[in-house]
Amino acid sequence: MQRESFFKNIIKAVGGILSAVAALICLFYIASVPKNGEIYNTELQNTLNVDKIISSKANKDESVYLGGYPIGISISANGLIVLGTSEVKTKDGDAFPLKDADVQAGDILMSVNGESVNSIYQLKLLLKDVKGEVKLKFCRIDREYEVSATPAYDVANMGMRLGLVLKEDVGGVGTMTFVTKGGAFAALGHYISDGETGVCEELVTGKIFKADVEGVIKGTKGKAGGLIADVNRLADPIGLIKENSLIGIYGVSLEKGKGELVKVAREGEAHIGPAKVLTTISGEAKLFDIDVVKVISQGSPQEKGMVVKVSDRELLNATGGIVQGMSGSPILQNGKLIGAITHVLIQDPTRGYAVHAGFMLENALRFEDAVSNEPLSRVEYSVMAA
Kindly list the catalytic residues: 190, 312, 327
Give dist(CA 136, CA 80) in Å, integer.
Answer: 12
Helices (H) and strands (E) in the chain, counts: 4, 26
- Beta bridge partners of residue 81, listed in sequence order: 108, 167
Cβ neighbours of residue 113 closer than 8 Å, sequence gap 6 or more: 126, 134, 135
How many Å is the Cα radius of gyration of the chain?
29
Residue-wise over 307-343: b if at least 16 C-beta within 10 A, else e? bbbbebeebbebbbbbbbbbbbbbbbbeebbbbbbbb
As beta bridge partners, residue 332 has 276, 337
Closest CA to 255 of 171, 360, 185: 185
Pairing of strands 248-253, 93-95: unpaired
